[in-house]
Protein backbone atom coordinates (compact mmCIF):
# COMPACT_ATOMS: atom_id res chain seq x y z
CA UNK A 1 0.00 0.00 0.00
CA UNK A 2 1.35 3.40 -0.97
CA UNK A 3 0.49 6.87 0.18
CA UNK A 4 -0.60 9.49 -2.33
CA UNK A 5 0.37 12.46 -0.23
CA UNK A 6 3.21 13.53 2.05
CA UNK A 7 3.47 11.86 5.40
CA UNK A 8 2.37 14.24 8.18
CA UNK A 9 4.92 15.20 10.83
CA UNK A 10 5.13 12.90 13.82
CA UNK A 11 4.63 14.58 17.19
CA UNK A 12 7.62 14.83 19.44
CA UNK A 13 8.07 11.99 21.86
CA UNK A 14 9.41 8.51 21.31
CA UNK A 15 8.99 8.68 17.53
CA UNK A 16 11.22 10.39 14.95
CA UNK A 17 11.57 14.19 15.03
CA UNK A 18 8.93 16.41 13.49
CA UNK A 19 9.32 16.86 9.77
CA UNK A 20 11.33 13.65 9.30
CA UNK A 21 10.69 11.68 6.12
CA UNK A 22 9.16 8.23 6.67
CA UNK A 23 9.06 5.25 4.35
CA UNK A 24 6.02 3.11 3.57
CA UNK A 25 6.48 1.08 6.75
CA UNK A 26 6.39 4.17 8.94
CA UNK A 27 10.14 4.07 9.62
CA UNK A 28 12.42 7.05 9.26
CA UNK A 29 14.31 7.16 5.98
CA UNK A 30 18.11 7.21 6.18
CA UNK A 31 19.70 10.59 5.57
CA UNK A 32 22.35 10.44 2.90
CA UNK A 33 25.49 12.56 2.81
CA UNK A 34 28.29 13.19 5.26
CA UNK A 35 27.28 14.24 8.74
CA UNK A 36 29.57 17.01 9.97
CA UNK A 37 30.40 17.28 13.63
CA UNK A 38 33.26 18.07 15.98
CA UNK A 39 36.39 15.99 15.31
CA UNK A 40 37.74 14.72 18.64
CA UNK A 41 41.31 15.62 19.57
CA UNK A 42 43.69 12.90 20.78
CA UNK A 43 46.69 12.93 23.08
CA UNK A 44 48.94 10.36 21.38
CA UNK A 45 50.41 9.81 17.92
CA UNK A 46 48.19 8.21 15.28
CA UNK A 47 50.44 6.52 12.67
CA UNK A 48 49.32 5.16 9.31
CA UNK A 49 52.26 2.90 8.42
CA UNK A 50 54.64 2.39 11.33
CA UNK A 51 58.42 1.89 11.05
CA UNK A 52 59.76 -0.22 8.20
CA UNK A 53 62.88 -1.73 9.76
CA UNK A 54 61.94 -2.27 13.40
CA UNK A 55 63.64 0.92 14.60
CA UNK A 56 62.29 2.73 17.70
CA UNK A 57 59.17 4.79 17.11
CA UNK A 58 58.79 8.25 18.60
CA UNK A 59 55.81 8.97 20.84
CA UNK A 60 54.34 12.30 21.76
CA UNK A 61 55.87 12.57 25.22
CA UNK A 62 58.96 10.31 25.26
CA UNK A 63 62.49 11.50 25.97
CA UNK A 64 65.20 11.99 23.39
CA UNK A 65 67.19 8.77 23.32
CA UNK A 66 68.96 6.82 20.62
CA UNK A 67 69.02 3.08 20.00
CA UNK A 68 71.57 2.51 22.77
CA UNK A 69 69.49 4.40 25.33
CA UNK A 70 71.87 7.36 25.49
CA UNK A 71 70.74 10.95 25.34
CA UNK A 72 71.28 12.34 21.85
CA UNK A 73 73.54 15.38 21.35
CA UNK A 74 71.53 18.56 20.98
CA UNK A 75 74.17 21.00 19.69
CA UNK A 76 73.94 22.27 16.12
CA UNK A 77 76.86 20.91 14.02
CA UNK A 78 79.36 23.28 12.44
CA UNK A 79 80.02 23.52 8.71
CA UNK A 80 83.34 21.67 9.01
CA UNK A 81 81.74 18.59 10.62
CA UNK A 82 82.47 15.45 8.53
CA UNK A 83 79.36 13.89 7.01
CA UNK A 84 80.11 10.58 8.74
CA UNK A 85 79.58 12.24 12.11
CA UNK A 86 76.31 13.97 11.25
CA UNK A 87 72.83 12.94 12.29
CA UNK A 88 70.10 13.67 9.77
CA UNK A 89 66.31 13.92 9.89
CA UNK A 90 64.43 13.39 6.63
CA UNK A 91 60.89 14.76 6.78
CA UNK A 92 57.74 15.01 4.74
CA UNK A 93 54.36 16.71 5.27
CA UNK A 94 50.88 16.06 3.93
CA UNK A 95 48.51 19.02 3.95
CA UNK A 96 44.94 20.11 3.31
CA UNK A 97 46.01 20.93 -0.25
CA UNK A 98 44.78 24.51 -0.43
CA UNK A 99 45.93 27.90 0.76
CA UNK A 100 46.53 28.42 3.57
CA UNK A 101 48.00 24.93 3.81
CA UNK A 102 47.40 23.12 7.10
CA UNK A 103 49.34 20.11 8.31
CA UNK A 104 47.40 16.82 8.42
CA UNK A 105 50.30 14.34 8.59
CA UNK A 106 53.97 14.53 9.52
CA UNK A 107 56.53 11.80 8.98
CA UNK A 108 60.27 11.81 9.64
CA UNK A 109 63.25 9.48 9.97
CA UNK A 110 66.30 10.20 12.11
CA UNK A 111 69.30 8.46 10.57
CA UNK A 112 73.05 8.41 10.04
CA UNK A 113 75.01 7.03 7.11
CA UNK A 114 75.01 3.70 8.94
CA UNK A 115 71.23 3.32 9.26
CA UNK A 116 67.95 4.49 10.80
CA UNK A 117 67.85 5.63 14.43
CA UNK A 118 64.18 6.41 15.03
CA UNK A 119 60.97 7.04 13.10
CA UNK A 120 58.34 9.74 13.65
CA UNK A 121 54.83 9.54 12.19
CA UNK A 122 51.41 10.84 13.08
CA UNK A 123 48.24 12.28 11.66
CA UNK A 124 47.57 15.84 12.85
CA UNK A 125 44.21 17.14 14.03
CA UNK A 126 42.70 19.81 11.81
CA UNK A 127 39.23 21.27 11.32
CA UNK A 128 40.10 22.83 7.94
CA UNK A 129 38.53 21.54 4.75
CA UNK A 130 40.72 19.04 2.87
CA UNK A 131 40.87 19.65 -0.85
CA UNK A 132 39.28 16.71 -2.75
CA UNK A 133 42.27 16.41 -5.08
CA UNK A 134 44.69 16.30 -2.14
CA UNK A 135 42.50 13.68 -0.48
CA UNK A 136 42.70 11.49 -3.59
CA UNK A 137 46.49 11.84 -3.54
CA UNK A 138 47.28 11.12 0.11
CA UNK A 139 44.07 9.38 1.20
CA UNK A 140 43.49 11.50 4.30
CA UNK A 141 39.96 12.75 4.95
CA UNK A 142 38.41 14.68 7.80
CA UNK A 143 37.14 11.44 9.31
CA UNK A 144 40.73 10.12 9.44
CA UNK A 145 41.83 12.89 11.82
CA UNK A 146 39.58 11.93 14.74
CA UNK A 147 41.74 11.19 17.76
CA UNK A 148 44.85 12.75 16.22
CA UNK A 149 46.88 15.14 18.41
CA UNK A 150 46.82 18.92 17.89
CA UNK A 151 49.48 20.49 15.72
CA UNK A 152 51.07 22.37 18.64
CA UNK A 153 51.91 19.15 20.52
CA UNK A 154 53.10 17.41 17.36
CA UNK A 155 55.49 20.19 16.40
CA UNK A 156 56.74 20.61 19.96
CA UNK A 157 57.79 16.95 19.92
CA UNK A 158 59.20 17.31 16.40
CA UNK A 159 61.45 20.18 17.47
CA UNK A 160 62.97 17.92 20.11
CA UNK A 161 63.23 15.15 17.54
CA UNK A 162 65.31 17.41 15.25
CA UNK A 163 67.71 18.93 17.79
CA UNK A 164 71.33 18.48 16.77
CA UNK A 165 70.40 17.09 13.35
CA UNK A 166 70.52 18.32 9.76
CA UNK A 167 67.12 18.41 8.08
CA UNK A 168 66.69 16.70 4.70
CA UNK A 169 63.67 17.15 2.44
CA UNK A 170 62.79 16.72 -1.21
CA UNK A 171 61.61 20.21 -2.06
CA UNK A 172 63.59 22.86 -3.92
CA UNK A 173 61.57 25.65 -2.26
CA UNK A 174 61.68 24.02 1.22
CA UNK A 175 57.90 23.63 1.32
CA UNK A 176 57.88 21.25 4.30
CA UNK A 177 60.16 23.28 6.55
CA UNK A 178 58.41 26.51 5.54
CA UNK A 179 55.06 25.01 6.47
CA UNK A 180 56.36 23.89 9.86
CA UNK A 181 58.04 27.24 10.49
CA UNK A 182 54.93 29.23 9.57
CA UNK A 183 52.81 27.02 11.81
CA UNK A 184 55.19 27.41 14.76
CA UNK A 185 55.83 31.08 13.84
CA UNK A 186 59.55 30.40 14.24
CA UNK A 187 62.13 28.55 12.17
CA UNK A 188 63.64 25.27 13.34
CA UNK A 189 67.19 25.72 14.62
CA UNK A 190 68.78 23.38 12.08
CA UNK A 191 70.44 23.43 8.68
CA UNK A 192 68.38 22.17 5.77
CA UNK A 193 69.34 20.18 2.66
CA UNK A 194 67.29 19.48 -0.46
CA UNK A 195 67.78 16.20 -2.33
CA UNK A 196 66.51 17.63 -5.62
CA UNK A 197 69.30 20.22 -5.53
CA UNK A 198 71.82 17.47 -4.81
CA UNK A 199 70.53 15.50 -7.80
CA UNK A 200 70.72 18.60 -9.99
CA UNK A 201 74.35 19.20 -9.02
CA UNK A 202 75.36 15.59 -9.69
CA UNK A 203 73.44 15.01 -12.93
CA UNK A 204 73.50 18.57 -14.28
CA UNK A 205 69.72 18.94 -14.27
CA UNK A 206 68.09 22.23 -15.18
CA UNK A 207 64.77 21.35 -13.53
CA UNK A 208 63.77 19.57 -10.35
CA UNK A 209 63.21 15.82 -10.33
CA UNK A 210 60.27 14.11 -8.65
CA UNK A 211 60.80 11.85 -5.67
CA UNK A 212 59.43 8.71 -7.33
CA UNK A 213 61.55 9.20 -10.44
CA UNK A 214 64.63 9.83 -8.32
CA UNK A 215 63.95 6.63 -6.36
CA UNK A 216 63.77 4.72 -9.66
CA UNK A 217 67.04 6.27 -10.88
CA UNK A 218 68.87 5.45 -7.65
CA UNK A 219 67.27 2.06 -6.98
CA UNK A 220 65.67 3.19 -3.70
CA UNK A 221 62.58 1.35 -2.48
CA UNK A 222 59.54 3.55 -1.89
CA UNK A 223 56.96 1.51 0.00
CA UNK A 224 53.96 3.88 -0.12
CA UNK A 225 54.06 7.15 -2.12
CA UNK A 226 52.24 10.14 -0.61
CA UNK A 227 52.38 8.75 2.92
CA UNK A 228 54.47 11.09 5.04
CA UNK A 229 56.67 8.46 6.70
CA UNK A 230 57.20 6.49 3.48
CA UNK A 231 58.15 9.68 1.61
CA UNK A 232 60.58 10.57 4.40
CA UNK A 233 62.13 7.08 4.23
CA UNK A 234 62.50 7.38 0.46
CA UNK A 235 64.06 10.83 0.85
CA UNK A 236 66.56 9.44 3.36
CA UNK A 237 67.46 6.56 1.04
CA UNK A 238 67.96 8.90 -1.93
CA UNK A 239 70.03 11.25 0.20
CA UNK A 240 72.45 8.47 1.16
CA UNK A 241 72.85 7.39 -2.46
CA UNK A 242 73.28 10.98 -3.69
CA UNK A 243 75.82 11.66 -0.97
CA UNK A 244 77.79 8.57 -2.02
CA UNK A 245 77.88 9.81 -5.63
CA UNK A 246 78.73 13.34 -4.52
CA UNK A 247 81.65 12.17 -2.40
CA UNK A 248 83.05 10.18 -5.32
CA UNK A 249 82.56 12.80 -8.05
CA UNK A 250 82.48 16.19 -6.31
CA UNK A 251 84.29 15.68 -3.02
CA UNK A 252 81.39 16.25 -0.62
CA UNK A 253 82.97 15.43 2.73
CA UNK A 254 81.68 18.03 5.20
CA UNK A 255 78.42 19.71 6.07
CA UNK A 256 79.73 22.90 4.48
CA UNK A 257 80.23 21.10 1.15
CA UNK A 258 76.59 20.01 1.21
CA UNK A 259 75.26 23.43 2.18
CA UNK A 260 77.02 25.04 -0.79
CA UNK A 261 75.04 22.99 -3.32
CA UNK A 262 71.90 21.76 -1.55
CA UNK A 263 70.71 24.41 0.89
CA UNK A 264 67.25 25.78 -0.05
CA UNK A 265 66.23 29.35 0.78
CA UNK A 266 65.43 29.89 4.47
CA UNK A 267 61.78 30.28 5.47
CA UNK A 268 60.47 33.82 5.88
CA UNK A 269 58.64 34.31 9.14
CA UNK A 270 56.39 37.34 9.49
CA UNK A 271 57.09 38.15 13.11
CA UNK A 272 56.84 41.93 12.78
CA UNK A 273 53.87 44.20 13.36
CA UNK A 274 51.09 43.67 10.89
CA UNK A 275 50.32 46.42 8.44
CA UNK A 276 47.68 48.94 9.42
CA UNK A 277 44.26 48.36 7.85
CA UNK A 278 43.46 50.22 4.68
CA UNK A 279 42.14 53.69 5.43
CA UNK A 280 44.13 53.91 8.70
CA UNK A 281 47.66 53.73 7.37
CA UNK A 282 48.89 56.65 9.48
CA UNK A 283 47.57 55.10 12.71
CA UNK A 284 45.51 58.19 13.57
CA UNK A 285 42.15 56.56 13.00
CA UNK A 286 41.31 58.91 10.16
CA UNK A 287 39.64 57.05 7.34
CA UNK A 288 41.05 57.84 3.96
CA UNK A 289 38.94 57.58 0.89
CA UNK A 290 40.54 56.01 -2.10
CA UNK A 291 39.72 57.14 -5.58
CA UNK A 292 39.08 54.34 -8.00
CA UNK A 293 40.53 54.86 -11.46
CA UNK A 294 38.66 53.20 -14.24
CA UNK A 295 39.95 53.11 -17.75
CA UNK A 296 37.91 54.02 -20.80
CA UNK A 297 35.73 56.97 -21.68
CA UNK A 298 32.41 55.32 -20.85
CA UNK A 299 33.44 54.75 -17.21
CA UNK A 300 33.81 58.48 -16.57
CA UNK A 301 30.70 59.83 -14.90
CA UNK A 302 29.69 63.48 -14.87
CA UNK A 303 32.72 64.63 -16.79
CA UNK A 304 33.51 65.81 -20.25
CA UNK A 305 34.77 63.53 -22.94
CA UNK A 306 38.46 63.35 -23.60
CA UNK A 307 39.61 65.73 -26.30
CA UNK A 308 40.06 64.13 -29.69
CA UNK A 309 42.74 64.83 -32.20
CA UNK A 310 41.82 67.38 -34.89
CA UNK A 311 40.84 65.91 -38.27
CA UNK A 312 43.54 65.66 -40.81
CA UNK A 313 43.37 68.21 -43.60
Mean pLDDT over 237-251 rounds to 98
Q: What is the pTM of this model?
A: 0.74
Buried b (16+ CB within 10 A) or exposed e, 266-298: ebeeeeeeeeeeeeeeeeeeeeeeeeeeeeeee
Cα radius of gyration (the chain)? 28
**Residues 18-30: tens digit of each pLDDT:** 445 555 555 555 5
The answer to whether residue 226 is domain-embedded is yes
The answer to whether residue 301 is domain-embedded is no
> What is the DSSP pairing of strand 166-169 with strand 88-95?
parallel
The answer to whether residue 28 is domain-embedded is no
**Residues 28-61: tens digit of each pLDDT:** 555 544 445 677 899 999 999 988 877 899 999 8
Mean pLDDT over 88-106 rounds to 96
The answer to whether residue 115 is domain-embedded is yes
The answer to whether residue 209 is domain-embedded is yes
**Residues 148-191: tens digit of each pLDDT:** 999 999 999 999 999 999 999 999 899 999 999 999 999 899 99
The answer to whether residue 162 is domain-embedded is yes
Our count of domains for the chain comes to 1
CATH of the domain at 104: 3.30.420.10
Q: pLDDT value at position 62?
A: 80
- Residue-number span of the structural domain to which 256 is assigned: 83-262
The answer to whether residue 271 is domain-embedded is no
The answer to whether residue 292 is domain-embedded is no
Q: How far apart are CA 81 and CA 261, in angstroms?
A: 16
% of the chain surpassing 90 pLDDT: 64
Amino acid sequence: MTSDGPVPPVPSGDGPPAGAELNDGGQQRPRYGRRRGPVPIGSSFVPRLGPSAGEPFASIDDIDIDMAGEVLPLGRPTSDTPVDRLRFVALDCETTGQSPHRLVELGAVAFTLEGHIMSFETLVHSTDRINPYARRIHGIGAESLGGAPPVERVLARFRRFCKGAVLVEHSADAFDTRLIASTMETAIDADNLDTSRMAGAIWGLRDTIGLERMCAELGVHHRRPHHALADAEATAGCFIELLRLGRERLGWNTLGDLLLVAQPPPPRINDGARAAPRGDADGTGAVRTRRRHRGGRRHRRGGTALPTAPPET
